[in-house]
A and B are shown apart, each in its own frame.
Chain A
């Protein structure tokens, strides 16, 4: 195992070269964002976008924090995003389990129904969706937004999980079934640990999308007390210009929870790498 993945000194140098080159490509624009987030006014962002700030305005972060009401809206964003993660990973994994391991006469049709949801974005179905949400009395509620956002991410999650599960052999599950285990036990005890990397992926993607979602909360929420941070940040969008120095400060603050989520999720990848799955 080690022999496969270990690199000789020469290989290491080559690899570093490539990775460092790509790092530059990735970090350069982000560096520009950081630089411009420290400029004292929008004019400087326009005048000298790549120059150093005349005044290192770290207080932009404080201004963005207060201006976008991070404090008030953070809780909403967190509730929505975490709820979506839990709902989507649970529901999509159970569905994937049934579709792949317990197929029935309508399985393929059900899968195709989910695929239709992958292919058509929820944005187009806004009008009927609004009617449904309104008639259920879920307008202007966090619960409504959570359900809508979760539903919008279900298709892709189901798609990813069915794909991964398909590639995992069923021997362990068959063994459990021989022992008389019922589907739910099999799902909970055997399958979930097996697809941990895929679950982590889905959880991460769901979190990032839910965290950054702007349009659905805009449509379904009215009371500012319910707003997530994304709506708070639209404070910085003026009629003809965006106040980029404050916007970037806000965006970089918003980046932090997603990085935390990534670190948590990628631990699953690392464990996968060292454990390499289940021992026979």
Chain B
């Protein structure tokens, strides 16, 4: 009887895995493996692929023009990431907590806070750029309250542009953090809370003991997903500052660097090289994969 069960269980295991693994394998993972091959060719998207071995990587690291940009773009990307993840985790937790309490109108707030999330990146870029313009409402408000004399060029100042774009991202995607954290808080078992409170613990202590540990997996999730998004995509930067990552490369991150190196920047596609795009993409993945793996596996193996 036990043997039969195990056999059946094994078969069911395969059946449970099959659809997802097949779907992912064929339409996502297999092309991913193809990426390794593409990084070894020079290919403008049509016509023959020219096998160049590690030339793309050699150019990337060997040619000073590329290497300097790569390093700077990565450094900018790190700053970009930390600003975003800091604001999303801190603000996200605060708001999620407030929404989990019996706050008035919390249902309405939840819907309102969700609104930015499904907006297209181009729309968000346009709207928020309007707000931070030198003649926009933010500067007008700051001037009104006598905080500043001259308008601040949020996007024009090389020292501020990156942080400004990071705040755009946070505005857009904050709801993602709120939802995940709220989900985690809500998932806490009632009886654990009741048990803690029966022990006479007050609210903060209860929260600390019961709710906060649950946040760790949610934090890991948010961090990994945001990290991947931030290091690979550069929607706002591309739309607002162009592939050059201006002003003077201060907003250049991996996404813009890739676009510029592989697709030729604003001089419109004169030297397209998908191979270079693949090389940069793989390199970026290589840089963030360890962090992602570490966080994710630690979470998977955690004893609760």
Contact = CB atoms under 8 A, between A and B. Distances in A.
**Within 8 Å by CB, do A and B touch in the complex?**
yes
B192 to A, nearest CB: 9
Given A128-B30, A162-B300, A15 B98 contact: yes
A275 to B, nearest CB: 8
Interface stretch (B55-63, B72-80, B103-111, B157-165): B103-111
B5 A269 contact: no
Interface string A193-237: 000011011001100100110100000000000000000000000
Given A5-B100, A7-B103, A182-B5, A121 B29 contact: no
A160 B227 CA distance: 15
Contact of A166 (B137, B217, B277): B217
Nearest to A269: B186
Contacts of B119: 251, 255
Majority SS at the chain B contact face: helix
Given A7-B101, A15-B101, A166-B304, A120 B35 contact: yes
B273 to A, nearest CB: 12
A248 B123 contact: yes
A193 B214 CA distance: 19
Contact of B16 (A111, A150, A184, A248): A184
B24 A15 contact: no
A251 B214 CA distance: 36
B131 A151 contact: no
Interface string B214-254: 10011011001100100011000000000000000000000
A227 B195 CA distance: 55
A240 interface: no
A62 interface: no
Interface string A110-143: 1111111111111111111101110000000000
A116 B293 CA distance: 9
A107 to B, nearest CB: 9
Given A120-B35, A122-B28, A133-B27, A159 B224 contact: yes
A202 B124 CA distance: 23
Nearest to A120: B285
Interface of A: 1-7, 12, 15-16, 18-19, 22-23, 25-30, 32-33, 49-50, 87, 90-92, 94-95, 97-100, 102, 104, 108, 110-129, 131-133, 147-148, 150-152, 154-156, 158-160, 162-164, 166-169, 180, 182-184, 187, 197-198, 200-201, 204-205, 208, 211-212, 214, 242, 244, 247-248, 251, 254-255, 258-259, 262-263, 266, 269-270, 272-273, 275-280
B20 A258 contact: no
B152 interface: no
A167 B215 CA distance: 10
B19 interface: yes
Contacts of A18: 94-95, 98
A251 to B, nearest CB: 5
